[in-house]
């Protein structure tokens, strides 16, 4: 297929900025992918700019700590933009109330640091469900053992209280090593199904892209959208988001859809890819097996 490329360098002369997904593209939650690290580093060394555009529910500083821990080099990217940062801006600017009920693991508490670290400027606080004005969902309390079904009673009570949900990660699931785990997006879908109001941030929604463009402008990077390439392994997040923004996209086949696209020998199966893309409403401009 003509849209398949072998290396990121094949596209170097066409794009000057990358909006690159993180989980599934540059790491698997346990370790960084060396080939992706080298490819992004080479892109930057040739004059390009790399923005890691992630649906992580935590602020950029917290994501950087994770990337450092799993071994992604600082040379591979210029900036980090997260769904968490976009959601924080929304919470600060909109009058949803001050009392928050948090659905998510303790590791995501860093999401709230920016709200609570200004000597009460914003006045937000964490509260039990029955006292809350709205919900912030960063994930499951325990994604190793739980599914959306475990939240049925919480959502029933929240819907009765007419609480809105801020979903800080619209991903439905993610691969942690070889294990597939549910994300906040799965809970947001469950809440919507019973009539709950949900505000979602991250790809494919506009706010995270606007946040990234604003960050680039603040760093004196002026470019047209035709100079940007979005990279990701999520058809309904990365590729759909790029299409909505009218930005070209590169799809990582050996990611979320690897069971559908990668053969037993570990290589991209072109016939499976062709069939898969025919079934999708969102189609990438390019496909690569792994980011390299």
CATH number for the segment(s) 96-200 = 3.40.50.1000
For residue 175, the model assigns a pLDDT of 81
Ordered per-residue pLDDT tens for the chain, 292 residues: 579 999 999 998 999 999 999 999 999 989 999 999 999 999 999 999 999 999 988 889 989 999 999 999 999 999 999 999 999 989 988 889 999 999 999 988 878 887 775 545 567 889 999 999 999 999 999 999 999 999 999 999 999 999 999 999 998 988 887 788 999 999 999 999 999 999 999 999 999 999 999 999 999 998 899 999 999 999 999 999 999 999 999 999 999 899 889 988 888 999 999 999 999 999 999 999 999 9
Provide the whole-model pTM.
0.86
Q: With contact defined as beta carbons under 8 Å apart, do 199 and 155 qualify? A: no
Count of residues making up the chain: 292
Angle at 121 (CA atoms; ends 117, 127), nearest 5 degrees: 70
CATH topology of domain 8-84+204-288: Rossmann fold (3.40.50)
For residue 1, the model assigns a pLDDT of 58
Dihedral pair phi/psi, residue 20, rounded to 5°: -105, 125
Tell me the domain boundaries of the chain: 8-84+204-288, 96-200
8-84+204-288 and 96-200 agree in CATH topology:
yes
Please state, in angstroms and rounded to a whole number, the distance separating the CA atoms of residues 87 and 68. 24
Please state, in angstroms and rounded to a whole number, the distance separating the CA atoms of residues 262 and 289. 8
Q: With contact defined as beta carbons under 8 Å apart, do 88 and 60 qualify? A: no
């Amino acid at each position: 297929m003509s849209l398949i490329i072998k290396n990121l360098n094949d596209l170097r002369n066409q794009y000057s900025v990358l909006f690159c997904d993180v989980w599934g593209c540059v790491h698997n939650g346990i370790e960084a992918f060396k080939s992706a690290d080298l490819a992004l580093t080479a892109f930057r060394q040739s004059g390009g700019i790399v923005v890691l555009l992630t649906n992580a529910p935590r602020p950029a500083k917290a994501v950087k700590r994770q990337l450092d821990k799993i071994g992604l080099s600082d040379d591979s990217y210029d900036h980090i933009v997260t769904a968490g940062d976009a959601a924080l801006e929304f919470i600060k600017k909109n009058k949803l109330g001050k009392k928050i009920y948090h659905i998510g693991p303790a590791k995501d508490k860093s999401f709230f640091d920016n709200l609570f670290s200004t000597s009460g400027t914003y006045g937000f606080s964490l509260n039990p469900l029955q006292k809350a004005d709205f919900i912030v969902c960063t994930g499951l309390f325990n994604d190793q053992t739980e599914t959306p079904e475990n939240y049925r009673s919480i959502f029933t009570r929240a819907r009765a209280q007419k609480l809105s949900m801020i979903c800080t990660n619209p991903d439905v699931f993610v691969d942690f090593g070889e294990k597939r785990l549910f994300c906040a997006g799965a809970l947001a879908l469950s809440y919507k199904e019973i009539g709950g109001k949900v505000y979602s941030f991250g790809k494919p929604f506009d706010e995270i892209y606007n946040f990234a463009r604003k960050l680039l402008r603040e760093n004196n990077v002026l470019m047209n959208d035709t100079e940007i390439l979005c990279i990701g392994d999520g058809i309904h997040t990365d590729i759909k988001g790029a299409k909505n923004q009218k930005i070209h996209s590169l799809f990582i086949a050996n990611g979320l859809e690897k069971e559908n696209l990668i053969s037993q020998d570990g290589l991209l199966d072109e016939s499976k890819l062709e069939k898969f893309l025919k079934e999708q409403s969102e189609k990438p401009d390019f496909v690569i097996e792994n980011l390299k």
